[in-house]
Copies of this chain bind each other. A is one copy, B any other.
Amino acid sequence: MTETATATGTSTGAATRIGTGATGSKSEQAYAAVKARIVDGTYTPGYRLVLAKIAEDLGVSVVPVREAIRRLEAEGLVKFERNVGATVSGIDPTEYLYTMQTLSIVEGAATALSAPLIGEADVARARAVNEEMRECLQHFDPVRFTRLNQDFHSVLFEHCPNPHILDLVHRGWNRLASLRSSTFRFVPGRAHDSVDEHEALLRLIETGAGADDIEKAARLHRSATLDAYLAHTPAAVQAAATDHTAPQTPQQ
């Protein structure tokens, strides 16, 4: 059921046609197409998703498009308002906090569960990716860094034996997709630490550390990113993020 399509985004092209015939279901195609456009940034947060317009663009009727939108809503990628329409979910700092916190938990668990199943070849691959990331730091290539970062973590949790947890991880990543490189861009120092933490994680896995230790390390790795974000965020935003009772900001 669950899509394991981790949209890496860049190379997919997101051509205006969906005639690739991937699954044969137009609803599925519409889902993939709209999702890709959100993930790769074609549809930016706040973008108004008009069913009829999307349907025309994709060459299908509104029914499968509507279904696709509702699915994306369930995943948190779009916000749907009755009798009004759908918009791409925004980068509301509160939402960012929620997503990162949730991701730190499920990703930590996924990594811990995967660890015993990660072989030497996987570790070697991940390490190579991490070294590439280190190079990106010097050439300042945030786009490539972000993609490599996903590749790295994919190695860590792709062997997760529990597909439910894996699915939750993928959903979290997708939610962050539209603002993935923001951390690197706005908190430069964080990226350096991140690479080091990656290496430490690999060491833990190599040495067959306990699941608890690996989980804690993976969780802290993400928490640190969140903390860095919050530390480099204006006080007002920070307050909104830490005040969980705050209502939604009526953006736009």
| Residue ranges of A at the interface with B (Cβ–Cβ < 8 Å) | 1, 10-12, 23-25, 63, 66-67, 70-71, 73-76, 79-80, 82, 95, 97-99, 101-102, 105-106, 109, 161-165, 168, 244, 247, 252
A113 to chain B, nearest CB (A): 8
Are A1 and B79 interface neighbours, CB within 8 A? yes
A67-B67, A82-B25, A105-B105 known; A1 vs B98 contact (CB < 8 Å): no
Are B168 and A76 interface neighbours, CB within 8 A? no
Are A162 and B11 interface neighbours, CB within 8 A? no
Give every chain B residue within 8 A of A63 (Cβ-Cβ).
Answer: 63
Expressed in whole angstroms, the Cα–Cα distance for A215 and B84 within the complex equals 40
Closest to A80 in B: B1
Copies of this chain: 2
Most buried by B among A74, A162, A164: A164
Closest to A70 in B: B67
Expressed in whole angstroms, the Cα–Cα distance for A99 and B252 within the complex equals 34
Give every chain B residue within 8 A of A97 (Cβ-Cβ).
Answer: 162
Are B244 and A161 interface neighbours, CB within 8 A? yes
Closest to A22 in B: B252
Are B76 and A11 interface neighbours, CB within 8 A? yes
Give every chain B residue within 8 A of A82 (Cβ-Cβ).
Answer: 23-25
Are B168 and A102 interface neighbours, CB within 8 A? yes
Are A164 and B102 interface neighbours, CB within 8 A? yes
A230 to chain B, nearest CB (A): 15
- Selected contact of A244 from candidates B24, B67, B101, B162, CB within 8 Å: B162
Expressed in whole angstroms, the Cα–Cα distance for A127 and B66 within the complex equals 46
Please list 8 pairs of residues, one from A and one from B, whose beta carbons are closer than 8 Å in the complex, sorted by A's number.
A1-B76, A11-B74, A63-B63, A98-B164, A98-B165, A99-B164, A101-B162, A101-B164
